[in-house]
Amino acid sequence: MNTKRVNRSGGISIPVGLRRELAIRPGDALDVETDAQGNVILKRHLPRCVFCGSTEEVTLWMGKGICRTCAGQIRKEEA
């Protein structure tokens, strides 16, 4: 276990060994969450569909995530 202190700007650093192990690179997006016990959880960011919330087969369109299923439904409704 590594102990890190929060710096003056509110950030913490992730140890290099952990970044290498998890293939986290500068500029990668991480989601910050808390659990019921107040623990902070970092997760690799996965784009979500703005319509259904899915993270499966999501592509970005005009800066928003849309999954294949919702895109197909939109195409059907427009036809």
Q: Domains of the chain, with CATH numbers? A: 1-45 (2.10.260.10), 46-79 (no CATH)
Rounded CA gap, 71 and 51, in Å?
Answer: 10
pTM of the model: 0.60
3-state secondary structure the chain: CCCCCCCCCCCCCCCHHHHHHHCCCCCCCEEEEECCCCCEEEEECCCCCCCCCCCCCEEEECCEEEEHHHHHHHHHHHC
pLDDT value for 51: 95
- 79 pLDDT tier (thresholds 50, 70, 90): confident
Taking only the tens place, the pLDDT of each residue in 25-63 is 998 889 999 999 999 999 988 889 999 999 999 998 888
Residue 1 predicted with pLDDT over 80: no
